[in-house]
Chains A and B, each alone.
Chain A
Amino acid sequence: MSEVSAVLVIAHRDLVKLLRDRLRIFADFALPLTLVLLLGPTLQAGYGQPGGVEVTTFVFTGVIAQSVWQSASMGIISLIADREEDFSQEIFVSPISRYSIVAGKIIGESLVALPQALAVIVLAVLLGIHLSPLTLILLLPTVLAMAVFGGAFGILVLSNINSQRTANQIFPFVMLPQFFLAGVFNPIHDLPPVLAFLSAISPMRWAVEAVRHVYYGTQSGLVTPELSPIPLVVAVIAGSFLAFIVAGTALFVRSERNR
């Protein structure tokens, strides 16, 4: 029972910290909003509708997945710096299990990622992107699941680095390439073999495809971009989620004390 309380407290703390930090909320929203507001429409104006796919909508569905997935994984990776800062120090010396820390952190960072998705959705409505009530209802749990998936990836990365310096340096290698390999704003289904392989092993890609399946699957009258089959997307996400969480947590618990 006290472990459940501990998980809830850790998650609660992450969420409250976000909500009280207006500057951070603003900064968190800046990138996804810029992409949806500026990148989508400008690409659309320049390229029109390649293959009949609306670029603004395509970018919107990509960004919504990318922003929550990335926010949750970067949030988890920030544990590396937190270990020596503020209240997080207390978390590490409290008698709770290390697994509870990981669980609380993943739930917390997933909740923290959610407002970004909501902001993107509100913006999408203002931009005139079509959203049916069913889409909205289904999008919410999907987005939350993708945040949890991103958090699991974060744990795996976290368990393999040992300083904040490394954490800052890996961003251009681990996150940035996935922007493009995941197909957030570019098509990825006719890539040369090497890029196709890299795209297939980019976890973010599957989060993007899952969100697109939910969006395009519940909208009528829209040309659907090329997507991997649903069973494959579900299987890849479920399999890699399990692998990340098991390996990541085990490695994290071990490496955390063996500095």
Chain B
Amino acid sequence: MIEVEGLVKRYRKAKRNAVDGISFGVGAGEFFALLGPNGAGKTTTISILTTTLAPTGGRATIDGRDIVRESSSVRRRVGIIFQRPSLDQNLTAEENIRFHAVLFGLYPYRPVYALMPPDYRRQVRDLAALLGLQREIFDPIRTYSGGMRRKLEIVRSLMHRPKVLFLDEPTAGLDAPSRRTLWAHLRTVRQEHATTIFLTTHYLEEAEQADRICIIDDGRIVAEGTPAALKADLSAEYVVVDADDRGRLRIELARLALPTTGDGPFTIPLDSRGVHATLKAIDTPLSLVRTESPSLEDAYLEIVARAEGERNE
């Protein structure tokens, strides 16, 4: 669905590339997450893919359409949830929906709701029912909560049935309950329309649900794979042990030549050793045993730190 090859973007007067030769592909119906620290090039990548920014080099297609030569055709096929709110505060929800629908050529322009085609009015009623906003749909956006605005944006962005939905940090600034309902809504959308999702986010638990993750740093891809594969890359599974008789445990661990860190509790990296074998070798009665496997966040932080380390060499 999305093919990106050697994409480069250097902003005017910039000394270095904001996006520096990235390549990746996203399959139809896939949920793809682009992660990276602030300034890594995530928004630049989305802007290029959604045709509002011209690339300096490389090429990209969406559903087989070239983002530069067939930009209008690409725009018809994508929906975007911007990082910053894209609703007009003083306009009603219905007006925000109507203006979008007319811009995307779904309906002809009419100055007031009552004059819009019956199909449109039916669609608005359905959307309002879906959002539970039957009465508020004619109220100005400024009376809406942050979570409701985001949901409205998502519903609106799907009106023209896009093949790909781009979400640029959609939950930034939302509270936990709003984030949760938003994701529940997005899951329904994926099930119903099989929409391809392209997400950038700072919340690792959101990326955890992705089919595939791409981590970029400083304009380059530093890791790519399923969340499970990225975590597996880090052999950082370890077990934490402690004993009431800490001195005895310390001596025993030294005798077993286990590479421990810490001075009680002791952390033993597992590498190829199994948890069972490791624990079985210890005779000292243990007061604490805890196994830890890396979270996606650990993997992410390590990958980014490693990339930065390599750059500084």
Contacts and interface: CB of A to CB of B under 8 A. Distances in A.
Nearest to B101: A9
Contacts, number: 92
Nearest to B52: A92
B87 A86 contact: yes
A87 B105 contact: no
A190 interface: no
Given A6-B103, A9-B109, A93-B80, A17 B90 contact: yes
Interface in A5-32: 5-6, 8-10, 12-13, 16-17, 20-21
Contacts of A169: none
Interface in B104-157: 104-105, 107-109, 111, 140
Nearest to B50: A93
Contacts of B98: 9
B53 interface: yes
A162 interface: yes
A8 B76 CA distance: 19
A20 B76 contact: no
Contacts of B53: 257, 259
Contacts of A259: 11-12, 53
Interface string A217-231: 000000000000000
A10, A21, A85, A87 pick with most chain B CB within 10 angstroms: A87
Interface residues of B, number: 36
B72 interface: yes
A95 B71 CA distance: 8
B75 interface: yes
User: What secondary structure prevails in chain A residues at the interface with B?
Assistant: helix
Contacts of A91: 103
B86 A86 contact: yes
B273 to A, nearest CB: 53
A12 B109 contact: yes
Contacts of A2: 102, 105, 108
Given A87-B87, A257-B53, A257-B54, A95 B105 contact: yes
Contacts of B109: 4-6, 8-9, 12
A96 interface: yes
A39 to B, nearest CB: 32
Contact of A20 (B73, B90, B107): B90
A258 B52 contact: no
A87 B75 contact: no
B251 interface: no
B119 to A, nearest CB: 15
Contacts of A6: 102-103, 105, 109
A258 B54 contact: yes
A93 B47 CA distance: 9
B89 A86 contact: yes
A58 to B, nearest CB: 37
A17 B89 CA distance: 9
B70 to A, nearest CB: 11
Contacts of A12: 99, 109, 111
B217 interface: no
B198 to A, nearest CB: 14
A176 to B, nearest CB: 28
B44 to A, nearest CB: 10
B20 interface: no
Contacts of A94: 75, 100, 103-104
B85 interface: yes
B108 A13 contact: no
Closest 9 CB pairs of A and B: A5-B109, A2-B105, A94-B103, A20-B90, A257-B54, A95-B75, A8-B109, A87-B88, A9-B102
23 contacts: A2-B102, A6-B103, A9-B103, A12-B99, A12-B109, A16-B90, A16-B95, A17-B90, A20-B140, A84-B84, A86-B85, A87-B87, A87-B91, A87-B99, A90-B99, A90-B103, A91-B103, A93-B50, A96-B103, A257-B51, A257-B52, A257-B54, A258-B54
Given A85-B84, A95-B72, A162-B12, 11 more contacts: A4-B109, A9-B98, A9-B102, A12-B109, A20-B90, A20-B91, A86-B87, A87-B91, A93-B50, A95-B73, A96-B103
